[in-house]
Amino acid sequence: MPYTQSGFAVQGAHGAHGNYELVSPSALGGLRHCWRNNDLPGAPWLLGDAFGSAGVDTVSLVARSDQVPSVHNGNLELVARVGPRLAHYTRRVPGPGKPFVWFGPVHFASGVAGHPALIQSRFGTHGNLELVVPTASGGISHYWCDNDQPHPHWIHTGVFAAGLGQVDAVAMIQSNYGGPPGNLEVIARAGDVLSHMFRDVGPAFAWSPPQTVLTSAAGIPAFIQSRHGTKGNFELVTPLAASGLSHITRDNDHPTTPWSPPVEFGSGTVSAVALIHARPGTPGAGSLDAIARVGSNTVVYVRSQAPPHDWTGPAAAACTEPLCNPVSQGEWRVPHSAGVVGIHTVLLRTGSVLFASYKEHEDQASGDSAVFNPVTGEETRLALARNVFCCGHSTLDDGRVLVVGGNLGGANALHTFTPNGGGGQWQELGNISAGRWYPTVTTLPDGRIFIIGGTGGGPRVNPHSCQITGGAIQATYEIFNPASGLEPPQPAPFMNEVDPYWLYPFVYVLPSGKLLIHAKTTTAFLDLSSFTFDATRLSTLSQTARTYPSEGTSVLLPLLPTSNPPYRARVMLIGGAGVSCPTPATDTTPATATCEVLDLGQAPLAWAPAPPMSHPRVMPDSVLLPDGTVLVMNGSSTGVADNGINPVFAVERYDPSTDTWTALCPMRVPRLYHATALLLPDGRVLTSGKDVEFNPHPFHYPEYRVEIYSPPYLFQGPRPNVTSAPDTVAYGANFDVIAPDAGAVVSAALIRPGAVTHSFNQEQRYVGLSIVTAQSGSLTLTAPPNAFVAPPGYYMLFLVNGNGVPSIGRFVKLG
């Protein structure tokens, strides 16, 4: 039978004795599910998944139990209020042998407030969903969802109980009153007063006037029809404004159906309570279990079925979020959700983030983008006439973003994006010489843009069969001159040597005046004085490719003026798939944890082993931090690009100065194919993305949540404070920075804003600065000597003190 009562905790259909299921807003953002296994001795509480959008205020949950046999039986249905809107989630099994997955949100309604109440009713063949929610303008709105339809949607029937004014919270049941299928009965709290009203079974479907049943109430009440009494008594438990909880019962066997005097129990400030009448066979069968939220804790009170029916407790329900020690591990939060999946993510000189993706379906002609404020969560959506999904991107020296290529009809497109305040403007510049799907785009020392890699559209190889599928090689490179436009394409024979792994090659400008280009298992060099390829080819130790679709990550380690020689370049390869063609891969093929480093200051040049990560991963992301370390996150422990189903939540940090890895606080949101990560100006790290089209079940859904990591250095005391710095800095010049605590600063660096997609950040670069003097209140720093060390454009200036704490990055234009 349908679950005809509301609450944030329910007794579901899973397990021989019906497990308890509970969902509540997470202190870290989004939602957290936990459950009580009623089949195990002691009925332990177990943590489930973290899921859902940021900014959730409150939730109501039902365990679906259709009136006829249905594939939906056992699903958990949840409605959350997110500000003035409602969001519907469903937990179900997406296929045989697959784990439970939360799907959603589907947003509906507007202008709502307070706490909603969701039930599955006995209306309809399958049992419709019914929902009541306070409105911001007063009264209560009623919605229903017709589960007999192939594509159910929410329908608003109107507002009732307007005379109550502003309602804070509601609870709802479908009773056995009024004849089949039964009245809807609602308890509403307005201020400290609880009122009861009901809606008849039709045909008028009229709501009765509200009747006061209790005062001195607070928080979110719980309301059920129990099995006590012949007709089934109404049981109401509510938090009290003073402390603890109050329980009243309506005796439905009595001719006047009176409410009992209140019985108070418990203590502390309770924000919400849910009530379950334990089913036969459940531990404590017949008891009333009141599950209460007290601060950040969840506790359970039990009212025995046997006389004298006293309430006992509280007993802890182990639903507390596992928290990291932020001082040693840092801290993840899910503070926001974006409207666009962050497949392409670029940090703008305004401090906002540009997200770009396909629009609804990857093969559409148009694209989608947004400018996102990572501090406030505010977002400006921007339409794109062409689909830039699968493009490459870099930042021009004036702060515009150059976007090259894209998908299908947009594969030969050339765009710029000009940031402006909280938004910006796209401009289509025309077409490049040929389609480039998955190109790499790199800013050169003279400010021009180097473009290499990509196909005319679609992948070159199927990694699961190792069959060539099309996608002709673009064995050329192109250069875009911001002043004069595109230059004629030039041959890049190296691309033929690394077929079919030349999509999104790793490319770096080296202080030596050369361009390093790595694809498959081979590294080549382009001399930037003559634009000719050297004869030198370097092979990695691993015989497995780390570029797409084997997709590891790569990073140019910090360039430091104190190294020997100064600004000695070292490139690192990290993780990737465990095999590459001619060996086919599946979603169970283990990824690799191995890493390699190429030291460009050492002779002879050769890739050398680096310490492996603790966790193998394909599709990882790497982020340079202000303290000179490298943060690695995201990815799957098995599979290849677009076929990974075992997300790695562990986060690791590599310290180039000690050649060691450190485990940090694990993330909460799975980030697989088409996920991204980059450094923010405040020293935090933003992760976003994972699309629907190219991720198999159970991750076949778009991920809009934005998760942000605060590294341990943000919990080590006060930051250095930059009160003044020049807007522009010339190469090799000394420049002054005003900082009240300058004497505590031990290092300074310029970090280029990131532009990341497909596990490779095409822009990030850490360039250390020499500290000439550090006097009271000011520092004199020396800019990088030339554009080979630091190509022109905008950088974030960071100061780091002796505790490793960075200042907030200040944008400085170099060159």
User: Which amino acid is present at 441?
Assistant: V
Can you tell me the distance from the alpha carbon of 78 to that of 87, in angstroms, rounded to the nearest whole number? 8
* pLDDT-flagged residues of the chain (< 50): 1
812's tokens: 């400085």
- Per residue in 234-265, pLDDT tens? 999 999 999 999 999 999 999 999 999 999 99
- Tally of CB atoms within 10 A around 493: 10
Of the CA atoms within 13 Å of residue 118, those in its CB half-sphere come to 24
Q: Which residues on neighbouring strands pair with residue 450, listed in sequence order? A: 442, 479
pLDDT of residue 203: 86
Q: Which of 484, 413, 477 is nearest to 446 (CA)?
A: 484
Nearest C-alpha neighbor of 185 from the set 141, 135, 132:
132
Q: Which residues contact 203 (CB under 8 A, 6 or more apart)?
A: none
How do beta strands 765-775 and 413-420 pair?
unpaired
- The residues with which 615 forms a beta bridge, in sequence order, are none
- Cβ–Cβ < 8 Å for 667, 687: yes
According to the model, what pLDDT value does residue 320 have? 73
The residue written with tokens 């069959």 in the block is 467
pLDDT at residue 497 in the model:
95
Q: Which residue has the tokens 């195990």?
A: 40
- What per-residue confidence (pLDDT) applies to 458? 72
Whole-number pLDDT of residue 648: 98
Q: Note every long-range contact of 793-796, with CB atoms under 8 Å and residues 24 or more positions apart, other chains counting.
A: 793/395, 793/396, 793/397, 793/399, 793/443, 793/447, 793/752, 794/349, 794/395, 794/397, 794/399, 794/752, 794/753, 795/750, 795/751, 795/752, 795/753, 795/767, 796/679, 796/681, 796/750, 796/751, 796/752, 796/753
- Nearest CA to 548 out of 598, 498, 608, 615 is that of 498
**How many degrees, rounded to 5, is the angle at CA 373 between CA 367 and CA 378?**
80
Contacts of 680 (CB under 8 A, 6+ apart): 347, 351, 353, 374, 686, 708
End-to-end CA distance of the chain: 71
Q: Is 495 helix (H, G, I), strand (E, B) or coil?
A: helix
Burial label for 465, CB within 10 Å (0-12, 13-18, 19+), is: exposed
In a 3-state reduction of DSSP, which class is residue 802? coil
The label of the residue with tokens 């947003």 reads 107
- Of 446, 435, 392, nearest to 413 (Cα)? 435
Give 668-707 pLDDT, tens digit per residue: 999 999 999 999 999 999 999 999 999 988 888 889 889 9
What is residue 640's DSSP assignment? B
Ordered domains of the chain (ranges, CATH): 9-317 (2.120.10.70), 326-715 (2.130.10.80), 728-814 (2.60.40.10)
CA distances from 294 to 301, 319, 463, 498, 633 (A): 12, 12, 51, 60, 34
**614, 632 contact by CB (below 8 A):** no
In this prediction, residue 516 carries a pLDDT of 99
Pairing of strands 85-92, 76-82: antiparallel
Lookup: tokens for 678: 């980059």
| The pLDDT of residue 685 | 99
